[in-house]
Structure 1
Amino acid sequence: MPDRLTALDAQFLYMERPTAHMHVGGVSIVDPSTKPDGPLLFDDFKAHVLRRMHLVPRFRQKIAFLPFNVGRPMWTDEERFDIDFHMRRASIPSPGGHKELADFVQRVHSRPLDRTKPLWEIYFIEGLEGGQIAIYSKTHHALIDGISGMDIASVLFDFTPAARDVEPEEWTPEKEPTTLELLRHWAVDSVTHPIEAMAHQASGAIGAPKAVLGHVGTVLGALQQQIGSGMAPPSPFNVPIGPNRRFSFTDVPVADAKAVKNALGGTVNDVILAGVAGTLRRALIARGVSTANLSMRAMVPVSTRDESQKMALGNRVSMFFVDLPVGDMDPEERLHRISAATKHFKDSGQAIGAASLVGLTRWAPPTLHALAARLTVRQRFANIVVTNVPGPQVPLYLLGARLQGMYPLMNLTETMALMVAITSLSGNMGFGFTGDWDAVPDIDELPDHLQAAMSDLKKAA
């Protein structure tokens, strides 16, 4: 029986527009000089991916939509799966630096994925300075989120230069269901899902009624928090977007963020948010925008995935909003304000409430999901998204080539022209800035603004 998309995963399909593509991406830079048995070749990399495809079966499945959108879409095997469609080889011009790599990646990231195929692509990019190789992967948000993305990366990367001996498995696709079969699956699913969802939400009700009442209160509190947060202030980053993207990236040592945290308080994530606030302040000033008493509201996704769901694909996230002060103040005061806001969120338990709201929508009609998704996108609840996904803090290797850095790319929504994503790896945090081509022409300046903001925080510490 085909798997039905979760409510949240389906929303990413409903939100997609010609100008607002719902795929995310990532750039991984590897150093082939550490490879013990010669250069890293595209054909070897493609064979490596094929050998491990059985570990990510969703990557050989595509979306099947139900007639008249009567139910959420389903995952079905792609009978004509062809690895050559999904894996491509490219080269960037000399000198092969950050600028040339970003120029190539932003062009490819601007193109939507083909919904008639499994929703992913991987590019093997040569021509980087020092003989390095870049791997750009592009995956639809309906298939994967940041946390599960790290799990998928672990399928291709190894902890030692010698690749794990993974025995490939023969794959025989299931026959694609007919329209009638899809409707029959939907009918059965529609009967079972409401019972399942309500049972999940009410689990423990008999044994712990007070806990259940408290849980309901948390859900209502989260809902009130979302509604009561109001509109984010106007900004040059909140304008209708086009289909084309820009990208830039940089690194910040984890040790720097920890040193600031230890000296000034808060968490590493608070320091990251303070650094982003300083970056926005500099970008706005450079554009001639007044920042007096201004705060930019950030939406910060939080993973709700537990260990039992570690290798499960799909989006299990919640979110909270935090105001990033970009006015004239010293960096320590900016960090303290952000720390107080994030602490309030954690103490309120609103992440749990938001997760419960997502769970309750599992059995709602898909037309309601689509409407809710579109309303969320069109309302300016936040100016920017800042997402931080911790990666492994030990060396990783791709067929013996050591991984040097990872830099995420985000999807933009209809009126949010800039997003910031961070992935930590082996003591470094890779910052990726994804922006709309027309709204953020200065995206190449954001890495320098971030480095200056982090330098100010280090001086304050």
Structure 2
Amino acid sequence: MEQLSALDAQFLMVESPTTTGHVGSLVLLDPVRDGDGPGDDWGLEMVRDVLEARIHLAPPLRRRLVEVPLGLGRPYWTEDPHFDIEFHLRELALPAPGSREQLAEQVARIHARPLDRSRPLWEAYVITGLEGGGGAYYTKIHHSAIDGVSGAEILEVVMDIDPEPRPVEPEPIPDGTRIPSTLSLLRTGVRSLAFSPLELLRTVPRSLTYLDQVPGAANVPGVSLVSSVAGRVGRLVGQHPPEGHGHNLRVPRTPLNGPITAHRRFAFGSVPLADVKRVKDAFGMTVNDVVMTLTTSALRRWLLDHDSLPSAPLVAAVPVSVRTEDQQGALGNQVSVMVAVMPTHIADPVARAEAMRASMTEAKKNFNAVPASLLQDLSTAIPTALSGLAARALFHLATLPGLPFNLFVSNVPGPQLPLYIAGARVKGIYPISAVTDMTGGLNITLFSYDGHLDFGLIACREMVPDVWNLVGYLSDALEELLVAIPDQD
């Protein structure tokens, strides 16, 4: 058994009738390749043959949750003795003509449904019937088991760098695998109580100094006082945390913010990485600066469409991987959050790009001023028996005055070479994240793959029914910057 970390448990506990805790991806595929591919034969059987032989390469796919009685400890992952791949790997066909919009609608419906907690927390769908003979592979897995980096690694298990799937010897499942008894889990929970105070003493006092740096924490009465007192105590014992500007930002209310519903909309699209790099070089930016600029421009245009552009700039939360070298390949969440101002109030595209570059520089400086383990450490401070209540309360901060931010924007790096699933070439990999009351009714996540940036936009249906418009606005924003590049002559 392996116990969930405190942060992983928060992703598990956040679920409600309107909020799910899983993330996913949609992979577009071309099964027909110059007559040497699988063609019309590509489908469920071929994908299952590849995935079933490689399940052991991705431990979360065979592990299920077991809860500790009475909430005496965080849940555990354990090997599922009744694992059945046919429950998790499914097939559907789109009705003709199988357009991108039909595909996105089906994916949105599946993504809105919670996972079955009595089984390993993942599902995958082989989708056929797309126009032009294309196919797709949609997966979702619970965020308590993965973050963006480890999720990409799990997705790669079913992929190959050549059309012919690489041979992988299946690993036999050990005999005698069984779910721990209730009595055994109870004993484990009681023992963990003895070590909880030691864990708190090790992490929480240092982290309290930075409590007011957590996005939205400044809106909670008393947080600034606690952080200030902890800082003074820390300095008395020789700790000297760097001074930061914090996250006491003015976050405007927009149609993207407020209580969400259980319904979802999904849209996806790509932009050429070469064009993004041209903008990067021309304006002295990073690729991520350009991504944030495109997102800012698309949001500005969407807000203008809805007569809702605020005078203050939007604020985005940007997940950052904090994996160390010795954590590479580790599962679970090794992530923190950076907060960046998005200059949606600036009309000129070049001035907007320059302001975004400066904003990202400031955001990185503030992010580097706090411990990388801050979210993990503060999650440890929540008693296990109260973690579900605390997580749901945290993610309902949208009902209180003072938003922590307007939306999440995430950029996950990926391979820059062609990949294949059961012989079908991967055309695009579009991430699908989650939305909550706190994080806003829209999430924009992108994955870099084989010369392009693939955007996946998931939204609350009632808040952003026209999510496809945003995909077009992202492409338009890039074209706007390309036209603005000064002549080199």
User: TM-score, normalization: structure 1?
Assistant: 0.90
How many percent of aligned residue pairs carry the same amino acid? 39
Deviation digits for residues 267-290 of structure 1 (CA, Å, limit 9, x no counterpart) = 111111111111111111111224
- Alpha-carbon contact 2:204-2:381 (below 8 Å) kept: no
Asked if the contact 2:342–2:359 (Cα under 8 Å) also holds between the matched residues in 1, the reply is no
* Aligned partner of 1:395 among 404, 411, 418: 418
Asked whether the 8 Å contact 2:266–2:467 carries over to 1, the reply is yes
Return the match for 1:451 from 475, 485, 489. 475
Match of 1:247 among 263, 266, 270: 266
Please list the CA deviations of residues 393-427 of structure 1 after superposition, one character each: whole Å capped at 9, or x if unmatched.
11111122211101111111125111101001001
Q: Deviations over 1:419-452 (max 9, x none)?
A: 1010010011111110111111111211111111
2:364 matched residue in structure 1: 346
CA distance in 2, matches of 1:446, 1:94: 25
Pairing 1:287–2:287 present: no
Contact 2:10 2:379 in 1 (8 A): no
Cα distance, 1:215–1:396 mapped onto 2, change above 3 Å: farther
Q: Count residues with an aligned counterpart.
A: 447
Which residue matches 1:32? 31
CA distance in 2, matches of 1:365, 1:283: 41
**Cα 1:390–1:192 shift into 2, 3 Å:** same
- SS of 1:33's equivalent in the other structure is coil
Pair 216,389 (structure 1): closer, same or farther in 2 beyond 3 Å:
farther
Deviation at 1:193, TM superposition (A): 6.0
Identify which of 248, 255, 278 aligns with 1:236.
255
Distance across 2 between alignment mates of 1:306 and 1:372? 28
Mapped to 1, the partners of 2:314 and 2:436 lie a distance apart of 17
Deviation (angstroms), 1:310: 2.5
Matched, 1:337 2:323: no
Q: 1:188 aligns with which of 180, 187, 191?
A: 191
Q: 1:425 is matched with which residue: 449, 457, 461?
A: 449
Deviations 1:58-94 (A, max 9, x none): 2111111122222111112222211111011001122
2:152 is the alignment partner of 1:150? yes
The CA deviation string for residues 151-188 of structure 1, in whole angstroms up to 9 with x for no partner, is 11221111122222210011136211111111222233
Aligned to 1:105: 107
Where do residues 244-283 of structure 1 align in structure 2 (5 Å cutoff)?
Answer: 244-283=263-302
Go from structure 1 to structure 2 and tell me whether the alpha carbon gap of 1:95 and 1:215 turns closer, same or farther (over 3 Å shift). farther
2:427 and 2:370 map into 1 onto residues whose CA distance is 35
Deviation at 1:198, TM superposition (A): 6.3
SS at match of 2:448: strand
Per-residue deviation at 1:27? 0.2
**RMSD over equivalenced CA pairs, Å:** 2.5
Contact 2:25 2:431 in 1 (8 A): yes
How far apart are 1:221 and its partner, in Å?
A: 5.4
Q: Please identify runs of 4+ aligned residues in structure 1 that moved more than 4 A.
A: 192-202, 212-218
Q: Contact conserved, 1:420 with 1:431, CA < 8 A, in 2? A: yes
Following the alignment from structure 2 to structure 1, what is the Cα–Cα distance between the partners of residues 457 and 378? 33
Q: Residue 255 of structure 2 aligns to which amino acid in structure 1?
A: P
Tell whether the 8 Å contact from 2:267 to 2:467 is kept in structure 1 after alignment.
Answer: yes
Contact between 1:319 and 1:351, CA under 8 Å: does it hold in 2?
no
CA distance, structure 1, for counterparts of residue 90 and residue 61 of structure 2: 16
Deviations 1:344-363 (A, max 9, x none): 23234537524244246446
The match for 1:412 among 427, 435, 440 is 435
Task: For residue 422 of structure 1, give the secondary structure of its aligned residue in structure 2.
Answer: strand
Q: Structure 1 residues 193, 179: CA separation in 2 closer, same or farther (over 3 Å shift)?
A: same
- Give the Cα–Cα distance (whole angstroms) in 1 for the partners of residues 410 and 354 of structure 2: 20
Change (3 A) 1:194 1:152: farther
What stretches of structure 1 of length at least 5 have no aligned partner?
A: 203-211
Q: Quick one: distance in 2 between partners of 1:361 and 1:113?
A: 23
| Structure 2 residue 108 is the aligned partner of structure 1 residue 87 | no
Letter of the aligned partner of 1:45 in structure 2?
V
From the superposition, tell whether residues 201 and 254 of structure 1 become closer, same or farther in structure 2 (CA, over 3 Å): farther
Residue 403 and residue 333 in structure 1: after superposition, are their counterparts in 2 closer, same or farther (change >3 A)?
Answer: same
Query: What CA distance in whole angstroms lies between the structure 2 residues aligned with 1:345 and 1:385?
Result: 14
1:125-175, Cα deviation, whole Å (9 max, x unpaired): 000122111000011111111111111122111112222221001113621
| More displaced 10-residue stretch of structure 1: 120-129 or 37-46 | 37-46
Counterpart of 2:246, as a letter, is Q
Unaligned runs of 5+ in 2: 206-233, 398-402
Mapped partners of 1:60, 1:408: distance in 2: 22
Cα distance change, pair 360–238 in 1 and its aligned pair in 2 (3 A): closer
Distance 1:98 1:351, change over 3 A: farther
Indicate which of 129, 132, 136 corresponds to 1:130: 132
d(CA) in 1 for partners of 2:387, 2:356? 32
